[in-house]
Homo-oligomer: A and B are copies of this chain.
Amino acid sequence: MMVNSLGRELPEKVGSYIVRPYGSEAVETAVTVRTNRTAGTRSNGGSKLLGSIVAALEACGLQSGMTISFHHSFREGDLVVGQVMAAIRELGIHDLRFAPSAVVNLSNFSLAEYVRDGTITRIEASGIRGELGDSLIDGSIRMEEPAILRPHGARPRAIEMGELAIDVAFIAVSASDEYGNSTGQIGTNICGSLGYSFIDARSARKVVAITDTLVDYPCCPASISQQYVDYVVKVDKVGDSGKIGAGAARLTKNPRDLTIAQRVAEIIAASRRFQEGFSFQTGAGAISIACTKFLSEQMERRGVTASFALGGITSGIIDMYDAGQVRVVECSQSFDARAAGAIYSRPGVREIDNADYANAYSKGNFLDHLNFGVLGALEVDTDFNVNLLTGSSGRMMGGLGGGPDVAEGADISIVTLPIVRGRTPSVVRRVFTCCTPGETVACVVTQAGIALNPHHRHYGELREDLERAGIKPVTIQELQQLAEEITGVPEPIRTTDRVVAVVEYRDGSVVDVIRETVF
């Protein structure tokens, strides 16, 4: 057993996975970018359209033991993962490594069943929300290898460094021509940015574009190019645009969330970095959407405009672009139908590669230049460590998303959460699963107060700025005690020694592991 610099106990090895503890000597190894894509085979101009997903699987030569990938831009509206997995089962292919950008709750099919029956034996994603995640944690499903959970920026790093080599990428697209030029921006069921899939398209050995809308050649816009696509399959429906939002698109009426959002906007406005040309990422979810609105109001009041807004984009950001408040919208994901449709017609609303968004192990990414990042959390502890994955009962409640990337990348990273949720404290002594190292979190905002992290690199600056603005922070310990007073001390979650998932950081080191829980 080892202990990393965050105080998390880690085994040296889980299955065949060798643990490199977070905070140990940084091993920067420049390796030549790895890819599974091949060159040297002649294209022929013929249609790449195949009659079924089964036909595409056969054409790709998908075999047991291989690695497959998907994007999660349709979120809970995705209808492609289910169709592909059913076809794979039909062919009797098993022992797959399932490596989507994220696993989300899909009401239409049970991923857990595919693990139970051995179709999938390895999982790598930014999160495994839903039945499967819960089953892994409670031990009702067991895999020999741990699930590898990576934040968004770490996935392209792992792919380019050869740690995650994809055999077949299945890319759900809202429109495609028969030669594979495809997009998420037009068609019947749009998801907007396909930024998560760019790395898959250029790196996978075989790429299948799956669409419900075939368009005349050439598809325009074309986010994914014909030079990367092997086959195109038309299905009845790829997804439901109405469900791409991570949260409600309408402004919340919850006074608690409004209070938190208002405080965040005040902190941003108080910062010396809130000046002409600043940049921000507010994200999705109720607090984020309200926060975008309050931020917009602060900007108007102060006559300040932003150089760019980043990440998952909502229609509130598009409004700001249209009003001239944001010069460029760098969109790695679209969080509502209006944001999804905004890329095509607006030259300053750009669909960006997820690697360009968040991969810290490239020559540069947008997070390197982000001033303010607003982040959600399930739990935060008195060391400012953030839990994005597991709920109070030990269930799998979320995904890493870009959380750890944004926290470290942004100058001022602001973690927002209610101080308690029902009878569960959100500010605790020690998070159950550490996902984002506390040292990368500048402040925590709850309805009961704001806590600044004295160990953050911009602590002095932020404290000064808030003081000048008359904003009085509390300590994180005060918030924790307040939460505990409301809820009482929660029963500790008991776990076995069996590790079911490793939580990787941006650099591939291990921040924490998730163990089987005893309920």
Contacts and interface: CB of A to CB of B under 8 A. Distances in A.
A238 to B, nearest CB: 21
Interface in A100-127: none
A24 to B, nearest CB: 15
B364 A179 contact: yes
A78 interface: no
Nearest to A327: B220
Contact of A216 (B36, B43, B277, B360): B277
A222 B29 CA distance: 28
Interface residues of A, number: 65
Nearest to A205: B32
Contacts of A26: 42
Interface string A306-330: 0110000000000000000001101
Contacts of A368: 43-45, 179, 226
A116 B269 CA distance: 62
Contact of A38 (B30, B227, B364): B30
A347 B350 contact: no
A58 B44 CA distance: 44
Copies of this chain in its oligomeric complex: 2
A44 B87 CA distance: 44
Contact of A40 (B29, B35, B226, B356): B29
Interface in A8-65: 26, 28-45, 48
A340 B31 CA distance: 37
Q: Name the residue among A36, A180, A362 with the largest chain B CB count within 10 angstroms.
A: A362
Contact of A308 (B160, B218, B345): B218
A330 B227 contact: no
Contacts of A38: 30-33
Contacts of A362: 39, 43, 227
A253 interface: no
Q: Name the residue among A217, A277, A350 with the largest chain B CB count within 10 angstroms.
A: A217
Contact of A227 (B227, B229, B364): B364
A347 B26 CA distance: 44
A228 interface: yes
B40 A225 contact: no
A357 to B, nearest CB: 10
A221 interface: yes
A41 B30 contact: yes
Q: Name the residue among A32, A348, A363, A365 with the largest chain B CB count within 10 angstroms.
A: A363
Contact of A364 (B31, B48, B157): B48
Nearest to A159: B39
Given A347-B344, A363-B230, A365-B43, A225 B32 contact: no
Contacts of A448: none
A507 interface: yes
Interface string A333-377: 000000000001101101001011001111111101100000000
A227 B350 contact: no
A36 B32 contact: yes
Given A40-B160, A180-B363, A227-B359, 10 more contacts: A29-B40, A39-B361, A179-B368, A202-B202, A220-B347, A220-B348, A225-B356, A227-B353, A228-B363, A230-B363
26 contacts: A30-B40, A31-B38, A32-B37, A33-B37, A33-B38, A39-B157, A40-B157, A43-B360, A43-B361, A43-B362, A43-B365, A43-B368, A45-B369, A48-B364, A179-B364, A179-B369, A180-B364, A202-B202, A218-B330, A220-B327, A220-B347, A220-B350, A227-B363, A227-B365, A228-B363, A347-B347
Interface of A: 26, 28-45, 48, 157, 160-161, 179-180, 202, 207, 216-218, 220-222, 225-230, 277, 307-308, 327-328, 330, 344-345, 347-348, 350, 353, 355-356, 359-366, 368-369, 409, 507
